[in-house]
A and B are shown apart, each in its own frame.
Chain A
Amino acid sequence: MTQTLTDNDALLIDGVALGSRLIMGTGGAPSLEGLEAALVASGTELTTVAMRRYAVHGEGNTAGANLFDLLVQNRIRVLPNTAGCFTAREALMTAELGREALETDWVKLEVIADEHTLLPDAVELVEATESLVNRGFKVFAYTNDDPVLALRLEQLGAAVVMPLGAPIGTGLGILNPHNIELIVSRASVPIILDAGIGTASDAALAMELGCDGVLLASAVTRAQDPVRMATAFRHAVIGGRLAAQAGRIPMRTHALASSAMEGRADF
């Protein structure tokens, strides 16, 4: 019997079942048309957006309004982020704007330390997580690949913990697989690998390490052929998920023949 790969294996977040464990962000696409094609090819049911000033008529483009319409039309759920925030105070305000504008209490909490590394500021992140949870947000906490911090965020009430594979936009893959595995093994909320993904095998590895999903944007939107790359990631995430569930063989030092030695013909 042919197994339908995603049946009965939805990613459950806050009571919502997502059919795809690949979450594709909207950042970095040169055109809305190209973005739409890539989103559709990725099969994603949830995508990130940033909150920015509405382009007032005659003062630039109106891509903002069009992006939201495009996502609504394609029935892709929206996850507003707090990208560009350096303090908990800024993140709270941005999160409130996202909730009001997009009518969702889901927020991808991103509090970065500096523009050079774009790494999360752990202290501000903890403070913002606590405040947002208290205000009724479902916090998707973007964090360092630190098992201690990841657990702390979960204890503070984060709905999802999202450790980075590598710094945002680097495409370096998963720099510390051991930490990701450790984070997953101790978590009781979904763990979604976020940031640093470069190519399909990185996403497959994330799933093999036990992650519940993968979030990426640049790896698709800045690829030479975004639709093809989005398709690759769709398959990679499914492949990695199935492999994680299937129980891999143990690694061995020496070879182990899979063909029997008995019954060989004499020459």
Chain B
Amino acid sequence: MSTIQLNGAARPLLTGTTLSALVTEVTGRELLPTGQPIDGGRLGVAVARNSGIVPRSQWSRTLLEIHDEIEIVTAVQGG
């Protein structure tokens, strides 16, 4: 089965899935092609693919590939 690694865990990969679709699936927020949430709020999330940051403006144009290592990070409590 085709999989990707998402935040360290294996996840099935459906052909043609964009990074934008994955972020929506994980966060529950619909996104504009710019990567901004449709609800007008701020997403507060960054994505790295195979150790390189993918700017939100490129999420909708980025197709996931088999064995991709994706990290989705956000702000948590910290000094």
Contacts and interface: CB of A to CB of B under 8 A. Distances in A.
Given A53-B72, A68-B42, A25 B78 contact: yes
A35 B41 CA distance: 22
A81 B78 contact: yes
Nearest to A61: B76
Interface of A, helix, strand, loop or mixed by DSSP:
mixed
Interface stretch (A12-20, A43-51, A122-130, A243-251): A43-51
B74 A48 contact: no
A49 B73 contact: no
A80 B45 CA distance: 12
Contacts of A168: 79
A99 B46 CA distance: 8
A80 B44 CA distance: 11
B79 A65 contact: no
A165 to B, nearest CB: 13
Interface in B22-79: 26-28, 41-48, 51, 53, 55-56, 71-79
A41 interface: no
A40 interface: no
Interface stretch (A1-9, A26-34, A199-207): A26-34
A49 to B, nearest CB: 4
Interface residues of B, number: 28
Interface in A77-97: 78, 80-81, 83, 93, 96-97
A35 B28 CA distance: 25
A182 interface: no
A215 B74 CA distance: 22
B79 A68 contact: no
Nearest to B42: A72
B78 A26 contact: yes
B77 A101 contact: no
Given A54-B26, A65-B27, A83-B79, A103 B74 contact: no
Given A68-B44, A100-B55, A53 B77 contact: no
Interface of A: 25-29, 35, 48-54, 56-57, 59, 63-65, 67-69, 71-72, 78, 80-81, 83, 93, 96-103, 168, 195, 215, 217-218
Given A65-B45, A195-B79, 19 more contacts: A49-B75, A50-B75, A51-B46, A53-B71, A54-B73, A57-B26, A59-B9, A64-B44, A64-B74, A67-B75, A67-B77, A69-B41, A72-B42, A72-B44, A80-B75, A97-B48, A97-B71, A101-B44, A102-B44
Interface of B: 6-9, 26-28, 41-48, 51, 53, 55-56, 71-79
25 contacts: A35-B77, A49-B77, A49-B78, A50-B75, A50-B76, A50-B79, A53-B7, A54-B26, A54-B74, A56-B26, A59-B7, A64-B44, A64-B76, A65-B27, A65-B45, A68-B42, A68-B44, A80-B75, A93-B53, A97-B73, A98-B75, A100-B46, A100-B47, A100-B56, A168-B79
